[in-house]
Amino acid sequence: MFASFRSLVVLVALTCAGCASPGARESPRLDRAALDRRVEALMAQAHVPGLALALVRDGQVVYVKGYGERDTGRQLPLQADTVMYAASLTKATFAYGVMMMADEGRIDLDRSIDALLAKPLPEYDKYADLAGDERWRLLTPRILLSHRSGFANFRFWQPGKPYDPDGKLFFYFDPGTRFAYSGEGINLLQFALENGGGIDVGDYLGTHLFERFGMTRTSLTWRSDFEGNVAIGYDEHGAALGHKQRGSVRAAGSMDTTVDDYAHLLAAMVRGDGLRPRRTRRGRRRRCASDPRSSSRRWASPTPTTTTASRCRTRSASRASNRRAARPGSRRATTTAPTTSRSASRARATACCS
């Protein structure tokens, strides 16, 4: 993603797949010197002046380091506590906060945003473009968070068209029917929460995430105390772009943070801190809860009717029944049929629960 730019500042946070489990093998020892050499070689190859990296393993931050410079003009080092623009990493932060709101009973992930708002969405000036299209009533927090709103990324950047500050908002497809990355949808959920749900998103994330996880140098808007240690962005020609001091909260991308702060947030996400156990997907005893092959199928339906745990129980019972039927003298008749795409999917899902 970044290889085409000669000069920029990058924040990287890596998480190991899966959560810690009581029977997990001991993690391999980290060769920090080798990692540092590799990072520095890649930076030199791509002409990246500064990079911050964190490694999260089994829900614990095991390595954090800054490389290169945060300001090449003044030759200032980039450090683990250097404030950097988090851009769309804000979306994941916001989504985790929304899951907390759902656990508190403040919102229903599968209820239309119409239930949150005091008046129909198109009656708000910002969303007047949707007047006459009732599909907005299909939008739910789950659909908006999973990028299935039907909107473009932003109304001013329509697919295949140049930037248009006067771009109109409209649906490219029916909400919930397919995936298309959209910051517009994320910002709409923020709008619904603030204008109908009575929730100040900036304050909520500040208290429920930033304070809770010790993220002292993170904010959804600019803070003056960031000034002394902040990264300067650069364009593809190496020209300094400065650091935009954002004055309003945008759930799709206004957060400033440090690699150390964000790493601790990611570690908390891996552990499931702040969420009820049913949302944490802890352990590996029922692996289909975190198996990537089944997650896309769960998200594809806006109103899932069967939980992962119940599906696993059903499949386990089915396997036990099949084993009994296969024993000598069993009365149950068995047949062999061609494998269809649906039966193949079931077979893969069953395997993930073993």
Express each pLDDT in 276-293 by its tens digit.
986 444 444 333 333 333
| pLDDT exceeds 60 at position 330 | no
Q: Are residues 119 and 188 in the same domain?
A: yes
Residues 150, 174: one domain?
A: yes
Claim to verify: residue 227 and residue 78 sit in the same structural domain: yes
Q: What is the spatial distance between Cα 118 and Cα 133, in angstroms, rounded to a whole number?
A: 18
pLDDT beyond 80 at 185: yes
2 lies in some domain: no
- According to the model, what pLDDT value does residue 212 have? 97
Asked whether residue 50 carries a pLDDT value surpassing 70, the answer given is yes
* Residue 193 in this model has a pLDDT that exceeds 50: yes
Indicate if 191 and 121 belong to the same structural domain.
Answer: yes
Alpha helices for 237-287 (secondary structure H) = 259-271, 277-280
Q: Supply angle C-alpha 298, 103, 138, rounded to 5.
A: 50
Task: Output 12-15 pairs: Cβ under 8 A, ≥24 positions apart.
Answer: 12/51, 12/52, 12/53, 12/54, 12/259, 13/53, 13/54, 13/56, 13/259, 13/262, 13/263, 13/266, 14/53, 14/54, 14/55, 14/56, 15/56, 15/57, 15/266, 15/267, 15/270
The pLDDT value recorded for residue 16 is 54
Kindly report, residue by residue over 260-270, the tens digit of the pLDDT.
999 999 999 99
Q: Which of 167, 198, 229 is the last residue of a domain?
A: 198
Query: Which band of pLDDT confidence, cut at 50, 70 and 90, is reported for residue 26?
Result: low
Q: What is the CATH number of the domain that holds 276?
A: 3.40.710.10
- The count of other CB atoms within 10 Å of the CB of residue 185 is 25
3-state helix, strand, coil in the chain (%, to 5): 40, 10, 50
Q: Are residues 291 and 240 in the same domain?
A: no
Do residues 84 and 229 both lie within one domain? yes
> In degrees, to the nearest 5, what angle opens at C-alpha 342 toward C-alphas 337 and 348?
95
Q: How confident is the model at residue 24 (pLDDT cuts 50, 70, 90)?
A: very low
Predicted confidence (pLDDT) per residue in 210-244, tens digit: 999 999 999 999 999 999 999 999 888 889 999 99
Q: State whether 73 and 128 are in the same domain.
A: no
Check residue 288 and give its pLDDT.
Answer: 36
Q: Is residue 310 part of a domain?
A: yes
What would the pLDDT profile of 112-166 be if each residue is shown by its tens digit?
Answer: 999 999 999 999 999 999 999 999 999 999 999 999 999 999 999 999 999 999 9
Q: Let me know whether 264 and 290 are in one domain.
A: no
Backbone angles phi, psi at 51, to 5 degrees: -150, 140
Does residue 210 lie in a domain region? Answer: no
- Assigned token pair, 282: 């802890």
Judge if pTM exceeds 0.85: no
Structure-token match 């791509």, residue found: 46
In the numeric block, which tokens belong to residue 237? 């020609």
The neighbouring-strand residues paired with 14 are 55
Instruction: Report if residue 125 sits inside a domain.
Output: yes
Same domain? 278 vs 347: no
Exposed e or buried b per residue across 48-65, where buried means at least 16 C-beta atoms within 10 angstroms of its C-beta: bbbbbbbbbbbbebebbb
Residues 32 and 64 in one domain: yes
Instruction: Show the domain range for 297.
Output: 285-315+343-354
The residue behind tokens 């208290």 is 207
C-alpha radius of gyration, the chain, whole number: 24
Does any domain span residue 161? yes
**Residues in contact with 10: Cβ distance below 8 Å, sequence separation at least 6, in sequence order:** 2, 48, 50, 51, 52
- Do residues 278 and 302 share a domain? no
Number of other CB atoms surrounding residue 284 within 10 Å: 16
Q: In this structure, is residue 79 part of a structural domain?
A: yes
Write down the pLDDT at residue 237.
85
**Would you state the pLDDT for residue 140?**
98
> Could you tell me the two tokens for 110?
């599968």
Please give the sequence-ordered ranges of beta strands (E in DSSP) within the chain, or none if there are none: 9-15, 50-57, 60-71, 76-77, 84-85, 233-234, 240-242, 256-257
Q: Is the pLDDT of residue 187 over 90?
A: yes
Query: CB burial class (10 A; 0-12, 13-18, 19+) of residue 109?
Result: middle
Structure tokens at 300: 């594809």
> How large a percentage of the chain has pLDDT more than 70?
71
- Count CB-CB contacts under 10 A for residue 136: 22
Is residue 83 included in any domain, yes or no?
Answer: yes
96 found inside a domain: no
Asked if pLDDT for residue 98 goes beyond 50, the answer is yes
Asked whether the beta carbons of 239 and 289 are under 8 A apart, the reply is no
- Whether residue 128 sits in one domain with residue 75: no
- CA neighbor of 312 nearest in space, from 339, 334, 294: 294
Please give the backbone phi and psi of residue 55, each rounded to the nearest 5 degrees, phi first. -120, 125
Question: What is the total count of domains within the chain?
Answer: 3
Phi, psi torsion values for 190, nearest 5 degrees? -60, -45
